[in-house]
Amino acid sequence: MSDVLAVAEHRRGDLRPISHELITAGRELADATGGELHVAVISGDVEAFADSLNREGVDAIHTITDGEEFNHDLTVESLDALWSALDASYLVAPNSVNGLDYVPAIAQRLDLPLVTDAIGLSLEDGLEVTRERYGSKVETTVAVADDAGAVVSVRDGEWPPAEGVGDATVESFDPGVDESAIHSTVTGFQEVGAGDVDISEADFVVSIGRGIEEEENLELIERLVDATGATLAASRPVVDNEWLPKNRQVGQSGKTVTPDIYIAIGISGAVQHVAGMKGAETIVAINTDPDAPIFDIADYGIVGDLFEVVPALIEEFGGETA
């Protein structure tokens, strides 16, 4: 019998959706051994968060009232103390940006093996975690050979959110964190990506990725956009190279778009990009690689060279051909 501790995540007053997904993933692990599922929620309005986290399958919720927003030092110290008070074997946490900021540290602190970015879990002869490598091109299973347990971070959107109303006990936990253990200070938040255009409002988006190769080739896509009246967007590499401003970036760290039509050109479809555009009504992909993951979520596709297809498309709409 192994108990599981899941760690909820919130930001600026709201629980993030991964919190309810973690309950499902954590319950799966707990069920495999007949253990209990505990949930920890740290900082902010923990009472309200606990209400929302009290869903089917949760046995106990531990609220830690220190702090308002996420702080990794407070999180690591709190989880360390809570872990000592419980008798759990598995800690499941979000593979979010804030997860990246504390999960490796708590695993190191507890001297437990860590597997990150899980997309599947099984617990039979031991824990086995399914995860991707090489930017989603390869999937692997990783077996954990440690009787003491493990720390697993979970990719968002892979488990359905837990539903219903649970009958978990809700208890306040005082981790007794010493102020001297808090090293980093969050001084504020900043919205980025404001600017001339809000791509999240567009009905028709043409988005360009790494396949464009060179900055000067962007001009081709701009002519397509002019000819069709689409709104221009991009995946991360194009913005990292500063060929387009941050407000054009679609994906996990950029904007989420929900247009009627989204044309992904030269975009492989990494999970971080898909997170920002899977809500589009119709997705069209143009890519040279027939195995590119973008085709998994596309409704229509062209397997071909954008430098041939796009000029032909511009011509169709009577745009300027170079």
Partner 1 sequence: MQILVTVKEVGQLGDEVVIEDGEIAESALEYDLNEWDEYALESAVQLSEAYDDVEVVTATIGPERSDETIRMALAKGADRAVRIWDDALTADGAGDETPADGLLDTRVRVELLSAIVEREEPDLVLSGVQSADAAFASTGVALAEEIDDAWAAVVNDLEVDPDAGTASVHRELEGGIEELTDVPLPAVLTIQTGINEPRYASLRGIRQAQSKELTVLDLDDLGIGTDAVTGALETTALYEPETTSDATIWEGDAESTAGELAAFLRDSGVIEG
Q: Which CB sits closer to partner 1, 68 or 163?
A: 68
Q: What residues between 20 and 49 interact with partner 1 by CB under 8 A? A: none
Q: Which CB sits closer to partner 1, 167 or 185?
A: 185
Segment interacting with partner 1, rule: CB under 8 A, options 31-39, 168-176, 212-220, 250-258: 250-258
98-107 in b/e burial notation, b at 16+ Cβ within 10 A? bbebbbebbb
For residue 4, give the nearest of 31, 34, 37, 33 by alpha carbon.
Answer: 37
What is the x/- site pattern for partner 1, positions 86-115, by CB under 8 A? ---------xxxx-xxxxxx-xxx-x-xxx
Size of the site for partner 1 (CB under 8 A): 97
Alpha carbons 293 and 78: distance in angstroms, whole number: 39
117 contacts partner 1 (rule: CB under 8 A): yes
Which of 45, 132, 197, 258 touches partner 1 (CB under 8 A)? 132
Q: Which CB sits closer to partner 1, 54 or 231?
A: 231
For residue 256, give the nearest of 237, 238, 240, 272 by alpha carbon.
Answer: 272
308 contacts partner 1 (rule: CB under 8 A): yes
Tokens 């997170």 found at: 275
For residue 17, give the nearest of 155, 198, 120, 113 by alpha carbon.
Answer: 155
161 contacts partner 1 (rule: CB under 8 A): no
299 contacts partner 1 (rule: CB under 8 A): yes
Which of 41, 46, 118, 144 touches partner 1 (CB under 8 A)? 144
- Alpha-carbon dihedral sign for residues 274, 276, 280, 283: negative
191 contacts partner 1 (rule: CB under 8 A): yes
Q: Is 126 left (phi over 0), alpha (psi -120 to 50) or beta?
A: left
